[in-house]
Amino acid sequence: MGAFDVLGIAGSSMALHQTWLDCLSNNIANINTARPTSGPAFQAQYAMAAAVPGGGVRLSGIAVGDPTGRVVYQPDSPLADAKGYVRMPDIDLGSQMSQLIMAQRGFQAQAAVVRDAQDVYASALSIGR
């Protein structure tokens, strides 16, 4: 255990939250991405976290959503099949926005930890001054 472990652990958490934010951004960006029914739908990405035994968190992998998606009747679409259907991704915007807030709050909380750690180091340095 070193003196700057707080910063290392905070860094790992901020990296994970950034990946989570990236995944959410990608999901929201592709929420209207239609695909032909012959292929799979756009699959939502979900960042999976795992605790590091020595302290900190890491990305254990990125899970993907259902390739079936939702089959929607859109006869105007150039991607529509003979019956007029396209495949839309199975992403709930409400859920994505809630997760966006969670990821943002998590990142901000970790940034606050870094700020406080800096204050702690400063007060330790001021001993005997």
Q: Which residues bind another protein (CB under 8 A)?
A: 1, 4-5, 7-8, 10-11, 14-15, 18, 51, 53-55, 111, 114, 118, 121-122, 125, 128-129
Residue 8 Cβ, how far from another protein at the closest point, in Å? 8
C-beta of 37 vs 45, nearer to another protein:
45
Residue 87 Cβ, how far from another protein at the closest point, in Å? 33
- Give the distance from CA 2 to its chain's centroid: 29
Please check whether residue 82 is in contact with residue 65, taking contact to mean a CB–CB distance below 8 angstroms.
no
CA-atom Rg of the chain in angstroms: 21
User: Using CA atoms in the order 27, 30, 61, 53, what is the torsion angle rounded to 10 degrees?
Assistant: -20
C-beta of 38 vs 123, nearer to another protein:
123
